[in-house]
Amino acid sequence: MSDLERVEGWGLSTASLCHVERPTDAEGVRKAFSLAAERGWTVGLRGAGRSYGDASQNDGGLLLDLQEWNRVQGWDPETGIARVDPGVTVEQLWERVVQDGWWPKVVSGTMTPTIGGAAAMNIHGKNAYKVGTIGDWIQGFDLISPSGDLHCSRDENADVFHAAIGGFGELGVMHNISLKNHFVDSGRLMEYPFVEPNLDAMFDHFEELRQDADYCVGWIDAFAGGSSLGRGQIHTANYLSADEDPRGLALRPPDKQRLPDRLFGVIPKSIMWRFVRPFAHPLGMRMINLAKVIAGEYAPGSKSPYHQTHAGFHFLLDFIPDWKLMHGRRGLIQFQPFVPADAARAVFGRLLRMQQERGLVNWLTVMKRHKPDPFLMTHGLDGWSLAQDFNVTDKNRAALWALCRDMTEVVLDAGGRFYPAKDATLTAAQFQRSLGQATISEFRALKKRLDPDTRIQTNLWRRLMA
Ligand SMILES: Cc1cc2nc3c(=O)[nH]c(=O)nc-3n(C[C@H](O)[C@H](O)[C@H](O)COP(=O)(O)OP(=O)(O)OC[C@H]3O[C@@H](n4cnc5c(N)ncnc54)[C@H](O)[C@@H]3O)c2cc1C
């Protein structure tokens, strides 16, 4: 058992002191729950700590870091089903399955999260509108809760299955997670870039493109105003059959997928964020966003389709490890509202204008399309999300939190939702309003059954559900 350790959220804007324990199996978790009960400590769970805010911190209590419990327990290339320990990462999973011609159905924009953490947050990818969330592809898992062990699937303890996925780790430790992967013939995709002059064009073209695309994602220059408000780019990608891409078969081994260690063959990726650091202020970011717009419009070949490996397409953000450090000492928060389809266009326009009016424009804006899923605490809905990275400084912190509070109200009025993995600013009242009291009560009843003493708690739980 460690002395108190400093543990940060990925965005660096929140930190806590916790006793950290690193179990490597189910017995280790059970022992930790008993020890915490003896000492009267609460227990928080942590995967790779890639949630932006306070989801995997437990100030003053015990924190179970599950990263070292990390073996792929089973893999069947006939059915595409993998069975993994909670600490197996998205990277470990794709490395294991890709050589047999499979790829995870749902991956995040970084390959570093654990499957336990991904399941607990019910992550989505750039194909959310088509395949839903990771939970849609999980077949079952075992759950260790303070009141005992359960197996959960759609047929067994289905209520817990649907609440633990997306239940941000509050019902117990998920392990022995089996999930279905997607068969791919080729080790690469065909990617298509598009330039869009404003928000209307972003929405209209995205809606049209996604009908035939396996993946579709938008990027917006949040600094552009007036008639260019919401201008940006859309990238789609499609799987390729063996006939379409016979050479793609040779790209299935993991070493052909791995991202390069050096950019342009020269600069070690690990120091790349330092090159962006001089631009890490509102003017610099306005220039970088503009440069991306200009490059998308005028750079040679910028509008032509091209082949891209699966890893290269999905994990763009991993090309610059630790890029968050460019945000400086106070880091960043992400604000990612999910808004029903009929309201999203007006709401996103309003959010972009609000941040421009207050001089607090976010630096990186990503737009995705989603569909509903059957999980109790889900952020998934028939609509759109807009992920926005806001730089945090001592000086802007109060104003930024006030902006997020006000933007949240706009989203709530439109029937929108939020994603605990990306949140740092919601209040309990706002979060509970987004899901509705019936859902919150149902979740609380399950929590009471599985964790009668509310032993499992994180900072996020205390902020949103206390
Ligand atoms: C650069 C970047 C890009 C991202 N892109 C996306 C994206 O495209 N789509 C998306 O959906 N998300 C995205 N995310 C968010 C990320 O996928 C989620 O925050 C994910 O939950 C992180 O997994 P983790 O292993 O780091 O878990 P942590 O952040 O450590 O924990 C997340 C939650 O899971 C709980 N938990 C952890 N392990 C278990 C377990 N075994 N059983 C039960 N509960 C557990 C924790 O208590 C916590 O509440 C991104 C994050 C980053 C940093």
Nearest to 219 by CA among 205, 198, 233: 233
Q: Mean pLDDT over residues 42-71, rounded? A: 98
Residue 39: the pLDDT is 94
Atom 32 (ligand 1) nearest CA: 117
Residue 2: pLDDT band with limits 50, 70, 90: low
Dist CA 285 CA 390 (whole Å): 11
Atom 51 (ligand 1) nearest CA: 50
268 CB neighbour count, 10 Å cutoff? 10
For the chain, the C-alpha Rg in angstroms (whole number) is 22
Q: Mean pLDDT over residues 107-116, rounded? A: 98
Tens of pLDDT, residues 433-458: 999 999 999 999 999 999 999 999 99
In short, whether 165's Cβ falls inside 6 Å of ligand 1 is: no
Tens of pLDDT, residues 85-107: 999 999 999 999 999 999 999 99
Dist CA 99 CA 255 (whole Å): 10
Q: Mean pLDDT over residues 184-200, rounded? A: 96
More confident residue, 269 or 155: 155
Q: Where are the alpha helices (DSSP H) in 210-281?
A: 254-257, 272-276
Tens of pLDDT, residues 134-175: 999 999 999 999 999 999 999 999 999 999 999 999 999 999
In short, whether 379's Cβ falls inside 6 Å of ligand 1 is: no
In short, whether 314's Cβ falls inside 6 Å of ligand 1 is: no
Mutate to test the pocket of ligand 1, among 16, 51, 422 (most ligand atoms within 8 A of CB): 51
Residue 3: the pLDDT is 84
From residue 45, alpha-carbon distances to 154, 259, 328, 361 in Å are 24, 29, 27, 33
Residue 1: pLDDT band with limits 50, 70, 90: low
Mutate to test the pocket of ligand 1, among 68, 85, 121 (most ligand atoms within 8 A of CB): 121
Tens of pLDDT, residues 233-261: 999 999 999 999 999 999 999 999 888 87
Residue 380: pLDDT band with limits 50, 70, 90: very high
Residue 267: the pLDDT is 75
Domains and CATH numbers, the chain: 4-67+444-464 (3.30.43.10), 72-183 (3.30.465.10), 188-428 (3.30.70.2520)
- As a whole-number percent, the residues of the chain with pLDDT over 90 amount to 91
More confident residue, 267 or 402: 402
Across-strand partners of 148?
Answer: 145
Across-strand partners of 128?
Answer: none
Atom 11 (ligand 1) nearest CA: 123
Burial bucket for residue 329 (CB in 10 Å: 0-12, 13-18, 19+): exposed
Residue 69: the pLDDT is 98
Residue 379: pLDDT band with limits 50, 70, 90: very high
Q: Which amino acid is at 268?
A: P
Torsion of CA 328, 62, 30, 158, to 10 degrees: -60
Atom 45 (ligand 1) nearest CA: 169
Extended beta strands in 47-137, E state: 62-65, 72-76, 81-84, 102-104
In short, whether 23's Cβ falls inside 6 Å of ligand 1 is: no
In short, whether 188's Cβ falls inside 6 Å of ligand 1 is: no
- As a whole-number percent, the residues of the chain with pLDDT over 70 amount to 99
Is the confidence at residue 273, as pLDDT, over 90?
no
Task: Please tell me the distance between residue 422's alpha carbon and the centre of ligand 1 in angstroms.
Answer: 9
Atom 5 (ligand 1) nearest CA: 109
Is there a contact between 304 and 349 (Cβ–Cβ < 8 Å)? Answer: no
Is the confidence at residue 263, as pLDDT, over 90?
no
In short, whether 282's Cβ falls inside 6 Å of ligand 1 is: no
In short, whether 67's Cβ falls inside 6 Å of ligand 1 is: no
In short, whether 337's Cβ falls inside 6 Å of ligand 1 is: no
Residue 450: the pLDDT is 98
Residue 272: pLDDT band with limits 50, 70, 90: confident
Mutate to test the pocket of ligand 1, among 10, 22, 43, 123 (most ligand atoms within 8 A of CB): 123
| Max avg pLDDT among 84-88, 284-288, 293-297 | 84-88
For the chain, report the end-to-end CA distance as a whole number of angstroms. Answer: 27
Is the confidence at residue 26, as pLDDT, over 80?
yes
β 383-391/364-370 pair status: antiparallel
Dist CA 3 CA 45 (whole Å): 17
Task: Please tell me the distance between residue 168's alpha carbon and the centre of ligand 1 in angstroms.
Answer: 9
Tens of pLDDT, residues 383-407: 999 999 999 999 999 999 999 999 9
Give me the chain's average pLDDT, please. Answer: 96
Atom 14 (ligand 1) nearest CA: 108
60 CB neighbour count, 10 Å cutoff? 12
β 62-65/43-46 pair status: parallel
- Residue given tokens 């266009």 in the structure block: 345
In short, whether 46's Cβ falls inside 6 Å of ligand 1 is: yes
Nearest to 232 by CA among 192, 191, 203, 198: 198
Burial bucket for residue 401 (CB in 10 Å: 0-12, 13-18, 19+): middle
Tens of pLDDT, residues 360-374: 999 999 999 999 999
In short, whether 116's Cβ falls inside 6 Å of ligand 1 is: yes
Task: Please tell me the distance between residue 426's alpha carbon and the centre of ligand 1 in angstroms.
Answer: 18
